């Protein structure tokens, strides 16, 4: 995971996209920002162009859509990057379960733009730290090994 790689936003709502664009601009984020409407579109484009994202943000509502569950798992595991889910519908801000399988965190965007900016800034800073990336790498490798051993047929 390279902190200078692109940040991906999976979101079809233009208003939410504008919010993220403004926050990234205000925070002076130097990463390229890539926007996709679905996980499938993101997965296809990222893999076709061999892009390894730094972070993936997605509206939590995308998880329930057809087969998005497997696509975000693929992005998180194959590209070894955290997938973070947000919701614009609620007013509290918190991070839950950043090291669960599949790699994901949930945070809910505050209704206040300044607080939202602070949440995004904290997330980017956290994942930019060397220790965080090393912990994530080790845990990703464990998940991959675990997933590959659980799919092997057992010998009778």
Q: At 102, is the pLDDT very low, low, confident or very high (cuts 50, 70, 90)? A: very low
CA 122, chain centre distance (Å): 14
Q: Where are the domains of the chain?
A: 7-151
Q: What is the model's pLDDT at position 17?
A: 92
- DSSP string covering 26-39: HTT--S-EEEESSH
When mean pLDDT is compared over 28-32, 81-85, 109-113, 132-136, the highest value belongs to 28-32
More confident of the two residues 13 and 104 = 13
**Over 70: is that where the pLDDT of 136 sits?**
no
Q: What pTM value is reported for the model?
A: 0.71
Q: How many CA atoms lie within 13 A of 14 on its CB side?
A: 0
What per-residue confidence (pLDDT) applies to 18? 92
pLDDT score for 31: 96
CATH number of 7-151: 3.40.50.2300
């Amino acid at each position: 995971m390279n902190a200078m790689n692109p940040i991906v936003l999976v979101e079809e709502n233009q208003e939410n996209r504008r919010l993220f664009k403004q926050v990234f601009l205000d925070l002076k984020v130097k990463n390229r920002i890539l926007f996709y409407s679905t996980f499938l579109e993101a997965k296809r484009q990222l893999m076709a162009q061999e892009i390894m994202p730094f972070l993936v943000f997605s509206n939590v509502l995308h998880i329930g859509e057809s087969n998005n569950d497997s696509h975000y798992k693929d992005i998180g595991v194959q590209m070894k990057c955290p997938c973070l889910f947000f919701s614009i519908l609620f007013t509290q801000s918190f991070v839950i379960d950043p090291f669960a399988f599949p790699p994901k965190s949930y945070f809910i965007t505050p209704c206040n733009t300044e607080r939202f900016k602070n949440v995004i800034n904290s997330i980017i800073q956290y994942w930019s730290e060397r220790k965080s990336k090393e912990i994530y790498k080790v845990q990703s490798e464990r998940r991959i090994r675990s997933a590959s051993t659980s799919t092997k047929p057992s010998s009778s």
